[in-house]
Structure 1
Amino acid sequence: MKWLDCLGDICPVPIMKLQRELGSMESGEHVMLVTDHSCTLSSTREFCAIYGLRLEAAEALPGVWEIEITKA
Structure 2
Amino acid sequence: METYYLDIWNEMCPIPIIKTQRKLKEMSCGDILILETDHSCTSRALVLWAREHGHEVEENEVSNGIWRLKVTKKHN
Q: Deviations over 1:10-46 (max 9, x none)?
A: 1111101100100000000000011001111111121
1:14 alignment counterpart: 16
1:39 alignment counterpart: 41
TM-score, with normalisation over the residues of structure 2?
0.90
Q: For the residues of structure 1 that align with 2:71 and 2:51, how far apart are their CA atoms?
A: 11
Deviation of the 1:58 alpha carbon: 0.7
Structure 1 unaligned blocks of 5 or more: none
Q: Would the aligned equivalents of 2:4 and 2:33 in 1 still touch at CA under 8 Å?
A: yes
Deviation of the 1:4 alpha carbon: 0.6
RMSD: 0.7
Q: For the residues of structure 2 that align with 1:5 and 1:13, how far apart are their CA atoms?
A: 11
Which residues in structure 2 correspond to 1:1-72 (within 5 Å)?
A: 1-72=3-74
Q: For the residues of structure 1 that align with 2:52 and 2:59, how far apart are their CA atoms?
A: 17
The residue type equivalent to 1:65 in the other structure is: W
TM-score, with normalisation over the residues of structure 1?
0.95
Q: For the residues of structure 2 that align with 1:53 and 1:16, how far apart are their CA atoms?
A: 15
Structure 2 unaligned blocks of 5 or more: none
